[in-house]
Structure 1
């Protein structure tokens, strides 16, 4: 089942170490632009194996973050002065393992899962996709 969220309002996500990011909803347009950034091609020509073999989740997060993070709190430079959520600072923030894991789990993974729902592979209506046994009993 495709679950649609018609609420276009940005959402605050608590990451780690007191960092919060305000993200707009991740759309298929964002994901296509990330693919273009990472693979240099459009139109879904890459395979799922290409994506997972060549690109890490860190790469996905660093490509997605500048497109969806509108604001943040709890991030500063070496002196503690607030910095803008631009691509360079977002990349540095994602180098922190705790912030990366939280961003991956709260922002990237839901978008990837929603993207996968549209790929034509679905489970059975009862919630299990296990195939019935085809081997004869011994």
Structure 2
């Protein structure tokens, strides 16, 4: 079942380590805008999946994060949400992983659902006819000492 978030209001997500992000709902408009992000578009065709995931997540986060708690500078002073701050936050592996798991993957899972194979038009293959002939007999993998020719 797909659960639809009818409220356009940003929601708070706990990412662990005392970090909370207030994020816009993950909508089609947000995903399309992220796919058109210059950083995403600039990815080389040969870029590996990890690079693509990191670039896409950062581009999405820059659009989706409206507020945060538990994020500070090196001295512990609370910092405002900025694109540079978002990039720095997502450079921390546990935060990146939590952001992907709790926010990004929800959109990707719905997108992936439409990529599955359609059901067989004739139903299951329970009544299918085999096209390969059965094997006649087995052949020993290694000759035994009694039948092996002597040199």
Distance 1:132 1:59, change over 3 A: farther
Structure with higher Rg: it is 2
Structure 1 residue 5 corresponds to structure 2 residue 5:
yes
* Whole-angstrom distance in 2 between the partners of 1:111 and 1:19: 21
The answer to whether the 8 A contact 1:13-1:22 is kept is yes
Structure 1 residue 39 corresponds to structure 2 residue 32:
no
Name the Cα RMSD after superposition: 3.1
Q: TM-score, normalised by structure 2?
A: 0.68
Structure 1 residue 74 corresponds to structure 2 residue 76:
no
Higher helix share: 1
Which of 94, 99, 111 aligns to 1:98? It is: 94
**Alignment partner, residue 114 of structure 1:** 110
Q: TM-score, normalised by structure 1?
A: 0.73
What SS class does the counterpart of residue 80 from structure 2 fall into?
coil
Aligned length: 124
What SS class does the counterpart of residue 15 from structure 1 fall into?
strand
**Alignment partner, residue 17 of structure 1:** 17
Question: Relative CO higher for 1 or 2, CA cutoff 8 Å, sep ≥ 6?
Answer: 1
Structure 2: give runs of 5+ residues left out of the alignment: 135-151
What SS class does the counterpart of residue 93 from structure 1 fall into?
helix
Structure 1: give runs of 5+ residues left out of the alignment: 41-48, 125-130
What SS class does the counterpart of residue 85 from structure 1 fall into?
coil
**Alignment partner, residue 149 of structure 2:** none
Q: CA deviation at 1:51?
A: 9.0
